[in-house]
């Protein structure tokens, strides 16, 4: 009786193996369909507005938040008494050629002293040197580009529309390099925030 059970068991195993081999030999009859993933991505991308991040090489997720750019000619601002439209649009970088001055600025962490004109920002000038300086919004609306100078920022730097540093932080030497125009000579420690 033991021999019959062993023979039946061997026959059952052999038939099972045969069924499995025949199944895989025939295949399932399934074949993959057309890849539509790129079409779906294109359709979704077409439905989303393109964000307007400041360039070049913006590393911020969400563009730094807070600030919204107003296209040229669409802003409505009141002029101060006696002020012309040209004066209202000017900023610290809008200096006539005959009034441009250069200052020796030591970038301490970069180990170099360079000349920076009073009509260019510390961040822009550092990038011209090929340095990878930190930044995000490039509009003075965050502290990603923060730095610290060896003096009072209110005296040695003119900021163009920064909203993040208070008067006390400015007096301690903190600055936002993306909107900071030099008005004197100093040493700058980049990547320093209050």
| HEC letters along 19-63 | HHHHHHHHCCCCCCCCCCHHHHHHHHHHHCCCCCCCCCCCCCCHH
Question: Domain extents for the chain?
Answer: 94-194
Q: What are phi and psi of 189, to 5 degrees?
A: -100, 110
Return d(Cα 186, Cα 146) in angstroms, integer. Answer: 15
pLDDT of residue 74: 46
Q: Is 143 exposed, middle or buried (0-12, 13-18, 19+ CB in 10 A)?
A: buried
Q: List, run by run, the mean pLDDT of 10-residue segments along the chain (194 residues).
A: 75 91 76 85 84 55 44 48 53 83 94 94 94 91 93 93 90 94 95 89
pLDDT of residue 69: 45
What is 94-194's CATH superfamily?
A: Beta-grasp domain (3.10.20.30)
pLDDT of residue 16: 94
Angle, CA of 154, 167 and 65, to the nearest 5°: 100
Question: Please, what sign has the CA dihedral across residues 45, 50, 55, 61?
Answer: negative
pLDDT of residue 114: 95
The candidate with the shortest Cα–Cα distance to 175, out of 22, 7, 28, 184, is 184
């Amino acid at each position: 009786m033991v021999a019959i059970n062993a023979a039946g068991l061997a026959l059952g195993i052999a038939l099972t193996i045969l069924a499995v081999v025949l199944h895989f030999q025939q295949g399932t009859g399934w074949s993959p369909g057309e890849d539509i993933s790129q079409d779906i991505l294109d359709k979704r991308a077409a439905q989303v507005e393109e964000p307007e991040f400041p360039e070049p090489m913006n590393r911020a997720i969400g563009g730094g938040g807070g600030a919204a750019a107003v296209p040229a000619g669409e802003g409505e601002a009141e002029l101060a008494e006696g002020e012309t439209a040209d004066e209202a649009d000017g900023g610290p970088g809008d200096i006539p050629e005959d009034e441009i001055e250069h200052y020796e600025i030591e970038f301490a962490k970069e180990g170099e002293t360079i000349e920076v004109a009073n009509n260019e920002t510390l961040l822009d000038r550092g990038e011209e040197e090929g340095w990878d300086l930190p930044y995000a919004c490039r509009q003075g609306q965050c502290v990603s580009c923060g730095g610290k100078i060896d003096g009072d920022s209110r005296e040695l730097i003119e900021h163009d529309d920064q909203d993040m540093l208070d008067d006390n932080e400015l007096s301690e030497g903190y600055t936002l390099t993306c909107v900071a125009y030099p008005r004197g000579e100093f040493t700058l420690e980049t990547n320093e925030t209050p």
